[in-house]
Structure 1
Amino acid sequence: MAETIAPNELFDNAIEKYQAGESPAKLIPIFIDVCNKSPKLDSAWTCLSWLYLLEDKPQLAIKAALKSMKIDPFDAQTRINLAAAMLEVKQSGVREHIELAKSLVEAAPEVRAQVVANFEDGFSRKPDWASLKRIEKLIFED
């Protein structure tokens, strides 16, 4: 009898693999599985959207970010992911997502710390990520 792993455990294991340097391409199927098993787990959709961005799949990143945003419209990282994907496909409407992310980052030090860490992670994995650099500048400019 095969043991089934709970979606939260699967999610935590995938995050650990990501942090250990596993490639986004190998993690995407795991996050798709988590999202299918727990469709209301907004953090899984946000992670999936990030992985799609790292793999240069902005259209899929938009779809995942929009699903996350429906669950939690006030998640800064989801808004950043969505804005990055929209910039990459030259879609309009980016400003509202950046402005909301900026206000969330300014309002909560823990959100700011997480977003800063995510920018650093993004640039370590994709150093010339133009859309993310642009968003970082817009969020942290005075």
Structure 2
Amino acid sequence: MTEQVNSLFDTGIERYKAGEGTDTLIPLFQDICNQAPKMAAAWTCLAWLYMLSAQPTQAYKAAQKGLKLDASDPQVRINYAMTMLETGQAGVRQHIEVIQQMIANSSELKEQVRETLDEGLTRKPDWKSLNKVKNWLFDS
């Protein structure tokens, strides 16, 4: 079962990278999350896809699950902070500060975060919450 879920996850990531839309990827990642509810990376991807498709409430719930499973992943916290912005939640600054600490000592991690945010803006150029988070992380 685990191999099958990991294979589905890898396939989903490849399909995303190939430019496939959220309309087909969201059901795939929902299925992965249902099959492997403790797979933080799947919840993180699902939250991202929900945000791309302007479904902030669903994104918030998925990001919250991802954060509970793996609070040490900066992408989980980025997604959570963005969904907090999009749903009007308080406490965003705390998560931004944690992300800043996470990427401060790793140029590799910092570059990965920057690439992810830039990639998100190529898919959704007017993404306000992503622009805010990017500015807080890299223009401060």
Does the TM-score normalized on the shorter chain lie above 0.5? yes
Correspondence 1:38 to 2:51 = no
Alpha-carbon distance in structure 2 between the residues aligned to 1:73 and 1:83: 12
Q: Deviations over 1:15-38 (max 9, x none)?
A: 000000000121000001111111
Q: Alignment length, in residue pairs?
A: 138
TM-score, normalized by length of structure 1? 0.93
Correspondence 1:65 to 2:63 = yes
Question: What is the DSSP-based 3-state SS (H/G/I as helix, E as strand, rest coil) of the residue aligned with 2:37?
Answer: coil
TM-score, normalized by length of structure 2? 0.94
Unaligned regions of 5+ residues in structure 2, if any?
none
Partner of 2:23: 25
Q: Sequence identity, in percent?
A: 46
Q: How far did 1:130 drift?
A: 1.0
Whether the 8 Å CA contact 1:105–1:111 is kept in 2: the answer is: yes
Instruction: Give the alignment's Cα RMSD to 1 decimal.
Output: 1.2
Partner of 2:54: 56
Unaligned regions of 5+ residues in structure 1, if any?
none
Q: Deviations over 1:41-92 (max 9, x none)?
A: 1111100000000001111111111111111111111111111111112211
Alpha-carbon distance in structure 2 between the residues aligned to 1:60 and 1:111: 27
Whether the 8 Å CA contact 1:98–1:139 is kept in 2: the answer is: yes
